[in-house]
Amino acid sequence: MAAPLSATGLSNSLHSTFHGSWATSFAGGDRAMLARPAPASVRVSRPRRSLPRMGNVNEGKGIFAPLVVFTRNIIGRKRFNQLRGKAIALHSQVITEFCKTIGADGKQRQGLIRLAKKNGEKLGFLA
Over residues 33-91, the pLDDT tens digits come to 556 666 666 666 676 766 555 555 556 688 999 999 999 999 999 999 999 999 999 99
Amino acid identity of 106?
G
**DSSP states of 42-91:** ---PPPPPPPPPP--TTTT-STTHHHHHHHHHHH-HHHHHHHHHHHHHHH
- Cα 25 from Cα 14, distance rounded (Å): 21
Does position 117 have pLDDT exceeding 80, yes or no?
Answer: yes
Average pLDDT over residues 92-116: 91
Say what the pLDDT of residue 13 is: 55
Say what the pLDDT of residue 61 is: 83
Q: Are 59 and 121 in contact (CB under 8 A)?
A: no
Determine what percent of the chain is predicted with pLDDT higher than 70.
54
